[in-house]
Amino acid sequence: MIRNLLFDLGGVIMDIRRENCVEAFRALGMTDPDRWLGEYRQSGPFADIEDGTATPAMFHDSLRSIIGSDVSDEAIDAAFGKFLVGIPRHRLEELEALHCHYAIYMLSNTNPIMWHDGIARNFRQSGHDVDYYFDGVVRSYEAGVMKPDMKIFRTVIDRFGIKPEETLFVDDSQANLDAAAIMGFCTLLVPPGTEFYELLSSRISLPDTL
Q: Is 106 left (phi over 0), alpha (psi -120 to 50) or beta?
A: beta
Give me the percent of the chain exceeding a pLDDT of 70: 98
35 shares its domain with 110: no
Mean pLDDT of 164-174: 98
188 shares its domain with 93: yes
In the predicted model, what is the mean pLDDT of the chain? 95
Any idea what the CATH number is for the domain that residue 119 is in? 3.40.50.1000
Angle at which helix 174-182 crosses helix 150-160, to 10 degrees, equals 60
C-alpha distances in angstroms, 118 versus 68, 115, 130, 159, 184?
Answer: 26, 6, 12, 26, 33
Q: Which of 47, 46, 101, 40 is nearest to 79 (CA)?
A: 46
92 shares its domain with 75: no
43-91 pLDDT, tens digit each: 899 999 999 999 999 999 999 999 999 999 999 999 999 999 999 999 9
94 shares its domain with 55: no
Examine residue 210 and state whether it is found in any structural domain, yes or no. no
153 shares its domain with 181: yes
| Residue 72: domain span | 18-81
CB distance 21 to 42 below 8 Å: no
Mean pLDDT of 112-140: 96
112 shares its domain with 153: yes
Examine residue 209 and state whether it is found in any structural domain, yes or no. no
> Strand 103-108 relative to strand 136-139: parallel, antiparallel, unpaired?
parallel
3-state secondary structure of 24: helix
Residue 210 reports pLDDT greater than 50: no
127 shares its domain with 49: no
> What is the widest separation between alpha-carbon atoms in the chain?
55
186 shares its domain with 103: yes
88-116 pLDDT, tens digit each: 999 999 999 999 999 999 999 999 999 99
